[in-house]
Amino acid sequence: MSRRSGILEFAVLGLLRESPMHGYELRKRLNTSLGVFRAFSYGTLYPCLKTLVANGWLIEEPGNTSEDALAAPLAGRRAKIVYRLTAEGKEHFEELLSQTGPDAYEDETFAARFAFFGQTSRDVRMRVLEGRRSRLEERLEKMRASLARTRERLDDYTLELQRHGMESVEREVRWLNELIESERAGRDLKGSGSGEPAQQDTTSGATGDLPRPGNTSRPDSPDDTAT
């Protein structure tokens, strides 16, 4: 199983733990509400659902909701099938939620794990958040070392690109620090003042007193906030 397939199965199980859904509603939640997947197709979703049914983690039931009338023209007969989490599926999802190894805080998986933190125990949330922070701090150290070796050979635009990438990572580290502090204090996220996770940026970069294109000095920037 590929990592992306594993993330998809995890997200589907998590959404169905909240309530049974048909394929149309699942695709909509994965593409929009959950905010983890983009441009998600039925051609990817239904093989995943078939696998989960075969494993005994989901069951298929005839759909009779009012949304079926809207879903049918878009997804054909498949939209009339409602998927429900089985007891075995719930147990499997809870096992996945309890995992705190490196896969839980990699770029490809952390957003999906965070989306279901409301169903995750506090100690597991702490381990995942701390693991993610440690991974990003390691990345920052490598980015700074790379910049120190190459900055004399880079033009202003390349330096600015690296600065942007590094500031994105630093912004997420600050956000993680706030979340970890809230978890340690036992505060609810809604009252912690933390926002949504910063959008991940895969650009390698650096910050500091780097010149902006066309300008040899860089004024202080306002504090970034995660969106």
pLDDT value at position 53?
97
pLDDT value at position 6?
87
pLDDT value at position 149?
86
The residue among 116, 125, 100, 105 whose CA lies nearest residue 172 is 105
- pLDDT per position as a tens digit, 156-192: 899 889 889 999 999 999 999 999 999 998 876 654 4
**For the ranges 87-96, 153-162, 193-202, the one whose mean pLDDT is highest:** 87-96
pLDDT value at position 15?
93
**18 to each of 29, 84, 124, 125, 165, how far by Cα in Å?**
12, 10, 20, 19, 36
Distance CA 147, CA 133 (A): 21
Q: How confident is the model at residue 10 (pLDDT cuts 50, 70, 90)?
A: very high
- Asked which of 20-29, 40-49, 137-146, 207-216 is least confident by mean pLDDT, the reply is 207-216
Phi, psi of 107 (to 5 degrees): -55, -40
pLDDT value at position 73?
52
Mean pLDDT of 218-226: 40
DSSP run (H or E) holding 85: strand 81-85
* Structure tokens given for 49: 């659902």
DSSP run (H or E) holding 70: helix 68-75
Q: Are 75 and 42 in contact (CB under 8 A)?
A: yes
pLDDT value at position 32?
77
- pLDDT per position as a tens digit, 27-83: 888 887 666 666 567 788 899 999 999 999 999 998 765 555 455 555 544 447 999
| End-to-end CA, the chain | 31
The residue among 197, 190, 191, 147 whose CA lies nearest residue 173 is 197
Distance CA 91, CA 55 (A): 13
pLDDT value at position 206?
36
Selected residue with higher pLDDT from 62 and 212: 62
Name the pTM for this structure.
0.71
pLDDT value at position 1?
47
Distance CA 65, CA 194 (A): 37
pLDDT value at position 130?
97
**Three-class DSSP labels, 122-182:** HHHHHHHHHHHHHHHHHHHHHHHHHHHHHHHHCCHHHHHHHHHHHHHHHHHHHHHHHHHHH
Q: How confident is the model at residue 96 (pLDDT cuts 50, 70, 90)?
A: very high
Domain ranges of the chain: 3-97, 102-227
pLDDT value at position 64?
62
CATH number of 3-97: 1.10.10.10
Beta bridge partners of 82: 22, 61
- pLDDT per position as a tens digit, 98-137: 999 998 988 888 988 999 999 999 999 999 999 999 999 9
